[in-house]
Structure 1
Amino acid sequence: MSNSSSVVDTGTLIRRILFFLVMVLLALGNLFTLFGGLTSPQAMDQAQIAREIARGNGFTTKFIRPVAYYQASQAKGGAVPFDGFKDTYESPLNPLINAAVFKLIGADDADAWKMGPKEMVYQLDRVVATVCVFFFLLSIGVTYLLVSRIFDAKIAGVTALLMLFCETFWNYSLSGLPQMLMLFLFSCAIYFAYRAVEASSEGRSPFVPAIVAGVFFTLLALAHWMTVWIALGYIIYAAVAFRPRGVIGISVIVLILLASIYPMIRASDASGTPFGTAFLTVYNGLASGSEETVMRTDDLETAPLSLDGLTLKTVRSTLIQFSQIIPFLAGILVAPVFFLSLLHPFKRAAIANFRWLILLMFVGAAVGLALYGITSDPLDPNQIHLLFAPVMTAYGLAFISILWSRLEIVAQNSFLKNAHLFVIVTICAAPLAIAMPTKAIAGIRQQGTGGLNNWPPYRPDALNIPLRQWIPENELIVSDQPWAVAWYADRKSIWIPPTAKAFKKYEEIGENFQTPIGCILISPTSHEAGGMAGIAYKYRDFTSLVIDGRVAASTLNTKDTASAFQLDQKPDVQEIARRYHYRFALVPLDLVIYMDRPLRLADEASQ
C-alpha cells in the first residue's frame, strides 16, 4: 500500500513540476521574447494615471477627453486648467496597484525610464504586463483550489492546463487591461462563495465565507465598474439561498456602497455627477456603439443619449453575446458545456446549487453588457464574460467526463478513460501552440531592439524620445491617440475634437492657463479608421488633416515642412493650418506632427 502511494505521489509531483516549468517558460517567453508593448487605449490610460498617483498627484490624468472637460467646466461653472485634470472614467483599483509598483521601482521619475535610441518597447509596458501576468498565474492557483474542492484533482488539473494554454488569457495579460486582476478577484470571490454554498447545504452557517466573498466582489467592482452586475447576481442568490434570508445580500450591498462612496463623491465634485465620465460608456450600448463619438464631443447637450429603439439595441447586444459565446468564454470550447450541465442531477447538493449561483452572476453580466455594449473585439475592455470561463470549464469537463464514462467502449477499454481530456486540451491549446513558433522567431530577431512593437498604430520610441525633447511639459498636444501620448511622451494630450470651433476654444483656454497647444499629432489610429467614409464621419472638420500626411508623401516633396492641409478649403481649418504649418514626420506617411514653430528642444521652447 505504501509503495502504491509513493508511486502516486511521485507521479503527481512530477506532473506538478512539469506544469510549473511550462508556466514559468510561457510567462518569461511572453513577457520578453513575444512582448510587443501594451495594446489597449484603456490600459495606457490606466498606466499613466497610475504614474500620476505614484508622483503624489492623485487620480489625475494627462489624457483629456473633451466630454470630460465639458463635464468639469459645467461642474465648476467655467473653464478649468488642463494641469492636474481629475479622471472620472477609469475604475480605481488597477491604477492604485500599478502606482504602488511604479513607486517601488522608481517609475514616478520619467527621466529614469526614458527609452534608448534603439529600443522599440517601452520598459514600463513590460512592468504593467508583468503585474497582469502575476495575477493571471495567481488566478490559475486559486481556480485549482476551487475546482479541487468542487470536483477532484483531475478536473482541477485539466482546468488549470486549459487556462495556462488559453491564448485569450495571455492576450489580456499582455494587453495591460485589468481583466487578469479581475479574474483573480473573481476566482477568490467564488471560492468563498462555494464554501458558503457548501456550508449552507450541510446545515452550517454560511455567513463568514459569504461575507468574505462579498469583500472580494467589492474589490472586483473597484477594478471594473461593470462587474457590479456580477455582484448583483451574487446578492440575489445570497438573499434567497442563505439564512437568515436577506441579511448576507444586504451586507454585500452595504460593502459595495461603502467602497463606492469616496469615488462617487470625488466624481461628483470633478464632473457634477456621481458616476463621472464612466457612465457615458452607456453610449457604446444604447447609442449603438458610439462611445468614441460622445467622448470627443465638447458639448454633451449636442449628443443626447437616444433611447429610441431601446429594445432593439439591447436585443442586438444580447445576440452578440450569445453568438460569440465561445470567444467571450476565452475560446475554451468546453466552457459553454456548462449550460448543458445545468440539466444534470449532480448528487452533491453543493455542486448542484453552486451552478445556479454561477448562472445568476452570468445573467447579471449579460444584462449589464446588453445595456453598456460589447463588441467582438478580442480585447474589448468591457469583456467580463471571460471571468466565468474557468469555473464553467470545470463544470463542462465534469459533465463530459460523466457522459464519457458511460460509453460502453470506454468501460471495456481502460486506456480510453482519459482520452477525452487529452483531446480537449489538444484542441483548446492549438491556437496558442500554432501561433507560438512564428511569434517566437520574430521576437528573437528583434531582441537587439528590445523586442517587437505594436506598429501600427503605436510607436513608443517615436513618442517617448522626440516629443519629450520638442514639446515642453506645460504644453498640450492635440492627438488622435492621446492615451499613447500621455503614457509614452508623458505630456498632456486632448483627444482631437470633431470641429474647428472646439479646437480654437481649447487653444484659447490653454493660453489663459499657460498651457498652450504645442502641436497636433496624427497617427494610423485615425487615417486607418475605415476608409474615407469612416474618417469623414469621425473627424469631420479635420478630415483633411487626417489624410494630409499620406497625401503629402504621395504628391509633395517630403522635405517640405510647410503647406499642411492641402486639400481643405474651409476658412476655420485654414486658419488653424496657417498657425500649425510646420509638418514633421515621426514615422514617414503615418505618424506626423504639426507645429507652430520649427523644431527645437523643449527646454529652448520653454524659455
Structure 2
Amino acid sequence: MNEPSSASRTPFIIILILLLAITGVQYFFNFNGLGTDAAMDHAQIARNVARGQGMTTNWLRPIQMVSGSTRAGLNPFLSDAQIHEQEAIRAGQGETLVDPEKFNPYALRDTRNAPLNILTEAAVFRMAGVHKFDLWSMTGSSMIYLPDRIVVGISCMFFILSVLSCYYILLRMFDVTIACFTCLTMILSNLFLQYATSGLPQMMMLFFFAWGIHFLYTALQNKEENRAFLWPLIGSSICFSCVCLTGWIGLWPMAGFLIFAGIRFKPHGLYCIPGLITLLLFLAYPIYINRSLSGGFFGTAYYTIFTGLTGNEEIAMNALVSGSIPIAAQKVVTSVINNILTQGDLLYENLGNLPLAMVFLLALLHKFKRPEVNQSKWGIFAMWVPAVIGMAIYTSNKTGISLGQIQILFAPFFTAYGTAFVLNLIARHSNKELISILRGGVLLLSLLITSLPLLLNLPHIVRVGILTAGRGIPAWPPYYPLGLNRDLRTQTAEKDFILTDQPSAVGWYADRKAIGIPKMVEQFMVLERILKFHGGKVGSILVTPSSTSKMNLRTISSSYGEFTPLVLEGTVLFQTKDKNPVYIFDHSRALAPLAQRFGTPDSRQFIQGAEMILYKDLQKTAPQP
C-alpha cells in the first residue's frame, strides 16, 4: 500500500492550485447560467423543499397529472356532465369526488428525480435565503440569475472534492505519477468542467462513486491479507447507494457491484446480501413515497425508460397514458442494441476525451502484480457493463451532457488503469535511458490531447468573462432568465398554470406552475379539466426556441402534433414581420378552441421578440368545474 508521504505533498499542492484556478476560471468567467432542463428541475424542487413544502414540483408532467388525478378519484377522460353527476352522488354521501391528499396540482410531489442532490441544494438554499423568491429577483442589469451560481457552486465543490478524493485513492492503488496524471486530465478535460458547471448531479455521483471504489479496494486488500473485509464492503455499499440516491441511473452500476461482490467473496452469493440490504434501506422511503403517490415503485421515473427508445424523455412525460407513447414493442430490442453500439461510438467523447482511458479495455488483459489492484479492475468492469446498458435505455445517445450519461464516473479509473498498463509496457524496454523519455513523452502527449481544447480557448474565455462581468451572457437560445424571472412572472397570475415548451425554466426562473405541451388539443382539454377541480386553469402559453432550435420541420411536427402551428408561429412572424405578419396560430383548425382564448390581438406578448411569445388568456374568471 502506498500511503501519502511528504514526497507526495508537492504534487498534491500543485494539483490543488491548478484545480482551484481552472475551476475558478470556469465558474467566474465562463458560466452562462444553467443550460439543462434537469438542473433547473432539481433547483426548483430544492427551492420548494427549502420553503418547507416537501418535494413538490412546479413542473407538472401530464402523465403524472392524469395518473394522480385518477388515483385521487377523478377520471378526467369523462365528460363534464358525467363528472358533475359523480360529484353530486358523492356529495349526497357526504364525500368529495377528489381526495386532495392524493392529488393536488398546486402541491404535486415529484416522483421523477432522485432526492440526494435536491436535498443538498435545498439545505444550501435555506442557508442562503434562495427560498425567498423576491430577494433574488433579477432587478439589475445582470443577465445571469444569481441562484444559478449557487447551484453550480455546489456542483463545483463536489468536483473539487472528487478530484482530491481520486488523488488520494489512486495514490493508494498505484503511485504518485498515475495519481497526478489522472487528476490533471480531469482538471483539464472540457467535459469534466462542463459537468462541474452544469448544475447536474454527476459530480456528486463521482464523489460517492470514487469512495465506493476506495472501500471496495480496501475490502479486496483486506481479503488478500486475511483481515476482516465486511465493514469496508458495507462502506462501499453505502457509497454506491448514495450514487443511486443522487441519480437513479446509478442503480445500474450498483447491480454490477452486487454481482461482483457475490462472485468474488466466498461463500459465493453471501456478501452481496449486505449490499442489497443497504440499498433497500436507502431506497425504502423514496419507494414508499412513489408507491403511495403513483402506485408504482419507480413513480414517474419509470417513463424515462422511453428516452433511449424514443429519443426524447418528454414525449413520454407529455403523454396522458403509457399506452399512447409512440414506441412499438418489437422495436424495443433493436433500439436498445443500437443505443449500446452508439455508446461504444461515443465512448471516447463521453469519457472526457481522455486517450489513456480507452486503454482500460486492453488493461483488462494485463495481470497487475498486486492482487487487490488486479481484482479491482474487474469490479470496475462489472459495474461498467450494466451501466452501459442503462445508459442505452435512459439516454438518447446524442452529443452533449445529460442527466443519464455516467461514463464520466468511470473515466478517472479507466485512465489510471490505462496509464498503469502503458507504463508497465514501457518499463519492459531494455534501454533504461529511453524508458524515462518514453514515459514522459506518452504522458505529455496524452495530456496535451486532452487539454488542448481548453488551453486554446482559455485566453478568449478570460477576456470575454472580464468584458461581460457586469451583465454576463445567458444560455440563449433557448433560455432567457431575465425575461422569465421578470417579464413572465409579472404578466402571469400565481394561481394560473403555464403551458410551455420549457416548463423547467418557467418553474425555476419564474417560480410558476408549468405544464409541457402535449401533442393533441384534446389532451390539453383533459389536463385543464383536471385543473378545474382545483379552481385553476391554463392562464397562458409560452413558446420559446426550445421547441424549434436545431430541429427540422419533421421533428417539430412529430414532437408537437396539433400544436405545431403554435410553436412555429414565432419563426413565421420573424420572417414576415417587415411585410405582412402571418399569424398561423389563428388559421389552424385544430387549434381553433385555443385561438379563441389565446389568439386575440391583445393576447400576444413578445418577451424576446418573435422568438419568445407569451399567449395570455384574457378571460377574467377561471373556468368552473
TM alignment of 1:298-447, pairs within 5 A: 298-303=320-325, 306-408=328-430, 411-412=433-434, 414-447=436-469
Aligned residue among 104, 107, 114 for 2:127 = 104
Sort the Cα spacing of 1:148 and 1:311 in 2 relative to 1 into closer, same or farther, 3 A: same
- Once the two structures are overlaid, the 10-residue window that deviates more, 368-377 or 120-129, is 368-377
Q: Distance in 2 between matches of 1:543 and 1:483?
A: 20
- Once the two structures are overlaid, the 10-residue window that deviates more, 210-219 or 407-416, is 407-416
Q: Which amino acid aligns with 1:375?
A: N
Q: Which amino acid aligns with 1:569?
A: S
- Once the two structures are overlaid, the 10-residue window that deviates more, 503-512 or 344-353, is 503-512
TM-score (norm. length: structure 1):
0.92
Conserved 8 A contact 2:427-2:435: no
TM alignment of 1:587-606, pairs within 5 A: 587-597=608-618
> Helix, strand or coil: the match of 2:613?
strand
Q: Distance in 2 between matches of 1:121 and 1:83?
A: 28
> Helix, strand or coil: the match of 1:219?
helix
TM alignment of 1:198-277, pairs within 5 A: 198-277=221-300
> Equivalent residue for 2:162?
139
Q: Distance in 2 between matches of 1:452 and 1:556?
A: 27
Aligned residue among 552, 557, 575 for 1:554 = 575
- Once the two structures are overlaid, the 10-residue window that deviates more, 407-416 or 490-499, is 407-416
Sort the Cα spacing of 1:13 and 1:257 in 2 relative to 1 into closer, same or farther, 3 A: closer
> Helix, strand or coil: the match of 1:594?
strand
Q: Distance in 1 between matches of 2:431 and 2:136?
A: 62
- Give the CA deviation at 1:575: 2.3
- Once the two structures are overlaid, the 10-residue window that deviates more, 74-83 or 578-587, is 74-83
Q: Which amino acid aligns with 1:197?
A: L
TM alignment of 1:516-527, pairs within 5 A: 516-527=537-548
- Give the CA deviation at 1:527: 2.2
Q: Distance in 1 between matches of 2:243 and 2:421?
A: 29
- Give the CA deviation at 1:424: 1.6
Structure 2: any 5+ residue segments left out of the alignment?
77-102, 621-625
Q: Which amino acid aligns with 1:575?
A: P
- Once the two structures are overlaid, the 10-residue window that deviates more, 433-442 or 225-234, is 433-442
> Equivalent residue for 1:41?
37
Conserved 8 A contact 2:59-2:507: yes
- Give the CA deviation at 1:248: 2.4
Sort the Cα spacing of 1:550 and 1:477 in 2 relative to 1 into closer, same or farther, 3 A: same
Q: Which amino acid aligns with 1:491?
A: R
CA deviations on 1:350-384 (whole Å, 9 max, x unpaired) are: 11111111111111212222333441332121111
Q: Distance in 1 between matches of 2:370 and 2:345?
A: 32
Q: Distance in 1 between matches of 2:423 and 2:29?
A: 37
Sort the Cα spacing of 1:12 and 1:369 in 2 relative to 1 into closer, same or farther, 3 A: closer
> Helix, strand or coil: the match of 1:478?
strand
TM alignment of 1:45-194, pairs within 5 A: 45-78=41-74, 80-194=103-217
Sort the Cα spacing of 1:118 and 1:128 in 2 relative to 1 into closer, same or farther, 3 A: same
Q: Which amino acid aligns with 2:424?
A: I
> Helix, strand or coil: the match of 2:499?
strand
> Helix, strand or coil: the match of 2:607?
strand
> Equivalent residue for 1:569?
588
Q: Distance in 2 between matches of 1:373 and 1:493?
A: 24
- Once the two structures are overlaid, the 10-residue window that deviates more, 311-320 or 389-398, is 311-320
Q: Distance in 1 between matches of 2:221 and 2:8?
A: 27
> Equivalent residue for 1:541?
562
Conserved 8 A contact 2:548-2:556: yes
> Helix, strand or coil: the match of 2:197?
helix
Q: Distance in 2 between matches of 1:41 and 1:95?
A: 14
Q: Distance in 1 between matches of 2:235 and 2:10?
A: 34
- Give the CA deviation at 1:559: 12
Aligned residues with identical type, % of pairs: 33
CA deviations on 1:137-187 (whole Å, 9 max, x unpaired) are: 111111111111111111111111111111101101111110000000000
Conserved 8 A contact 1:564-1:577: no
- Give the CA deviation at 1:516: 2.2
- Once the two structures are overlaid, the 10-residue window that deviates more, 241-250 or 388-397, is 241-250
Sort the Cα spacing of 1:121 and 1:213 in 2 relative to 1 into closer, same or farther, 3 A: same
Q: Distance in 1 between matches of 2:146 and 2:533?
A: 36
- Give the CA deviation at 1:412: 4.3
> Helix, strand or coil: the match of 1:247?
coil
- Give the CA deviation at 1:259: 1.6
- Once the two structures are overlaid, the 10-residue window that deviates more, 498-507 or 414-423, is 414-423
- Once the two structures are overlaid, the 10-residue window that deviates more, 329-338 or 236-245, is 236-245
Conserved 8 A contact 1:75-1:269: no
Conserved 8 A contact 2:253-2:383: yes
- Give the CA deviation at 1:414: 4.5
Conserved 8 A contact 1:70-1:300: no
CA deviations on 1:109-135 (whole Å, 9 max, x unpaired) are: 111111123111111111010100101
Conserved 8 A contact 2:287-2:298: yes
Conserved 8 A contact 2:11-2:180: no
Conserved 8 A contact 2:499-2:517: yes
Aligned-residue Cα RMSD (Å) equals: 2.2
> Equivalent residue for 1:605?
none
> Equivalent residue for 2:597?
579
- Give the CA deviation at 1:304: 6.8
> Helix, strand or coil: the match of 1:163?
helix
Conserved 8 A contact 2:185-2:447: yes
> Helix, strand or coil: the match of 2:591?
helix
- Give the CA deviation at 1:533: 1.5
Conserved 8 A contact 2:15-2:183: no
- Give the CA deviation at 1:415: 4.8
- Give the CA deviation at 1:437: 2.4
Conserved 8 A contact 1:478-1:495: yes
Q: Which amino acid aligns with 1:20?
A: L
- Give the CA deviation at 1:428: 1.2
CA deviations on 1:457-494 (whole Å, 9 max, x unpaired) are: 00000100112212121111110000000000000000
- Give the CA deviation at 1:408: 4.5
